[in-house]
Amino acid sequence: MDHFQLKNGVLHAEDVPLSAIAEAVGTPVYVYSRATLVRHARVFREGLSALDRPHLAFAVKANPNLAVLSVLQKEGYGADVVSGGELTRALAAGMAPADVVFSGVGKTHAELVQGLESGIGQFNIESEEEGYELAAIARRLGKTAACALRVNPDVDARTHEKISTGKRENKFGVPLDRAGAIYAALAAEDGLDMRGVAVHIGSQLGDLEPLESAFTKLGALIGELRAAGLTVTHADLGGGLGVPYKPGDIMPSPADYGAMVARVTKGWDVRLTFEPGRVIAGNAGILLTRVIRSKRSGNGPPFVIVDAAMNDLARPAMYGAWHDIEAVAPSGNRMTSHVVGPICETGDTFATDREIDALAAGDLAVFRTAGAYGATMASSYNSRGFVPEVLVDGDRFAVVADRIPADAIMDAERVPDWL
């Protein structure tokens, strides 16, 4: 359930008509609903109510906006970060360092130092090499790094190949058959406190079975590690739960997911961490856009050209992803059209031959389910600026990220005087 609904014929974010936001802030603009973020955060937590003190770490990559992180911090969420920049944001949003997990296959030396100096709760180590480097830094700084070893369970997540992370051939984690030896080697290093294991097999998972299979393998590994005399007190089950993008999409609910987790992890005797991203933020945001003009196309459906483009919302161009398109003030008429942005490549297409609300030049429309992996994946391609972000709370709203115009980006560039 989200709080983007029609009221008196106009699409609202909570109690604010989207037309009011377009008028005040301009388009394109990302709009987030605080009530929806809170609702999703609570539904996810309730799904895990059978577990003892689960640690919830929002995957910052899904939506790193400071105001969004702050909403989730107030809901008791920590953060899963994958860069120094994300770590800085999580701390700036008030998340306790102890509630931060640092994932990622390519943490730099500087990022490992930053994590240690910030006192983060856990590093998810993705290779033996990273473990040794972290141990050396920790010894030099006189600190101990709490760590989980991320394993690659070689499970097919049955999602888009670009967001699948748990197959043997993917770059993530250490192979399951080497995990015991690597864990033992790293546990012997001064400077590391090897306390657990981690797994994340992919994103937008519509099926619990691959997750169950990965978690089952992780449980067996915990048993093996303990049998070898190693200590395991924590397990991180990653993120990945899918969300509906289209009407009729059926996704496992957080309650179904929680029931599966409770069943599979029974008897593990560890503290569990979860790293949900999309399931919290995806349907808590939309991208609001205005139609520039419609263009006839031979005998085919017209092109509806909107002012948002693939640089603002990359998912359709990058993954062939579907985002529902709706008029802000639907007339009741429908049309079949191609919906495209102004960028000079054919990949800048949001919908092909899609039946949508009738839209004409000047009309406002939204792309739904844009709260996760939306604004954060933007670029300035075609010298377009960065789109602003707005957070709605009841009948009020605030700009929580300014529009960065193209000329501000150009201001950071220099022509050397020897040219």
Binding residues: 240, 275-278, 315, 319, 345, 373
- Determine the Cα–Cα distance for residues 76 and 282; give it in Å rounded to an integer: 19
Q: Does 252 bind ligand LLP (CB under 6 A)?
A: no
- In the set 110, 250, 344, 415, the catalytic residue is 344
Parallel/antiparallel/unpaired status of strands 325-327 and 364-367: antiparallel
- Determine the Cα–Cα distance for residues 215 and 210; give it in Å rounded to an integer: 9
Of 135-143, 199-207, 209-217, 222-230, the segment contacting ligand LLP by CB under 6 A is 199-207
Q: Does 14 bind ligand LLP (CB under 6 A)?
A: no
Selected from 56, 59, 261, 356, the binder of ligand LLP by CB under 6 A is 59
Q: How far is the CB of 410 from ligand LLP (least distance, A)?
A: 27
Point out the annotated binding site for substrate: 278, 315, 319, 345, 373
Preceding omega of 28 cis (within 30 degrees of 0): yes
Of 239-247, 289-297, 348-356, 407-415, the segment contacting ligand LLP by CB under 6 A is 239-247
Q: For the window 328-367, what string marks contact with ligand LLP as x by the rule CB under 6 A?
A: ----------------------------------------
Q: How many other C-beta atoms are found inside a 10 Å radius of the C-beta of residue 226?
A: 12
Looking at beta carbons only, is 93 or 305 nearer to ligand LLP?
93
Q: How many other C-beta atoms are found inside a 10 Å radius of the C-beta of residue 330?
A: 18
User: What is the DSSP secondary-structure string of 109-148?
Assistant: HHHHHHHHHHT-SEEEE-SHHHHHHHHHHHHHHT--EEEE
Active site residue 344: yes
Helix (H) or strand (E) holding 375, with range, is none
3-state secondary structure of 315: helix
Q: What length does the chain have?
A: 419
Q: Could you give the count of Cα atoms lying within 13 Å of 399 in the half-sphere of its Cβ?
A: 16
Of 71-79, 237-245, 344-352, 408-416, the segment contacting ligand LLP by CB under 6 A is 237-245
* Residues of the shown chain interacting with ligand LLP in the complex, contacts defined by CB under 6 A: 59, 61-62, 80, 103, 163, 165, 200, 203-204, 238-241, 275-279, 315, 319, 372-373
